[in-house]
Amino acid sequence: MTNFLKLPTKSRNLFRVVIETPRGAAAKLAYEPKMGVFQYSRPLPVGNTYPYDWGFVPSTLGDDGDPLDGMVIHQAATAPGVVIQCDLLGALRVQQKDPHGTVLRNDRYIFCPRREDALDEPTAADHVPQDLRKEIEQFFLSSVLGTGKIVKLKGWQDAGEAAKSLIKGAKAFQRKQKVLK
């Protein structure tokens, strides 16, 4: 049984994203490592669907104790458990307050898949276009309705800044693994 949480974060210069919830889904799915399955987590608010594939960057750890979140911008829908090698486009900085009052940072990293026949140099734009940013922001604001979470959007990071945050999350994961040994 594959433990998706422990896959290497990167392959060559590309980040891996494990898809939990495919594009078009009206419910959030989440990876349950103890059982090795992707299970139903909760419905999205009425009328909402995931605009793109949603998942996590393996071997990373965020302030919430979960792997760092990733959205993969592309036109296809995949399936839970698919791993996509991606170029990083940027990140939406998010401050989140959970139902118990804990405030933490829970950024959303934005990726695009790397074509298998692409050169080693990134061919995609290294940013998220302004119109798409607004659509992504609206999705994340509406997706937490009914969860008791409150999110505040704190602006965007470009690909370089976002990569530093992902590396920080990978180092946090490595530290936690050493403590668990």
pLDDT of residue 123: 45
CATH number at residue 117: 3.90.80.10
Q: How confident is the model over 23-81, as pLDDT tens digits?
A: 999 999 999 999 999 999 999 999 999 999 999 999 999 999 999 999 999 998 899 99
The count of structural domains within the chain is 1
- pTM for the model: 0.93
- Which residue segment(s) compose the domain that 8 sits in? 4-180
Contacts of 179 (CB under 8 A, 6+ apart): none
Secondary-structure breakdown of the chain: helix, strand, coil percentages, each rounded to the nearest 5:
20, 35, 40
pLDDT higher than 70, residue 117: no
- Both tokens of residue 152? 């505040």
Rounded mean pLDDT, 153-177: 95
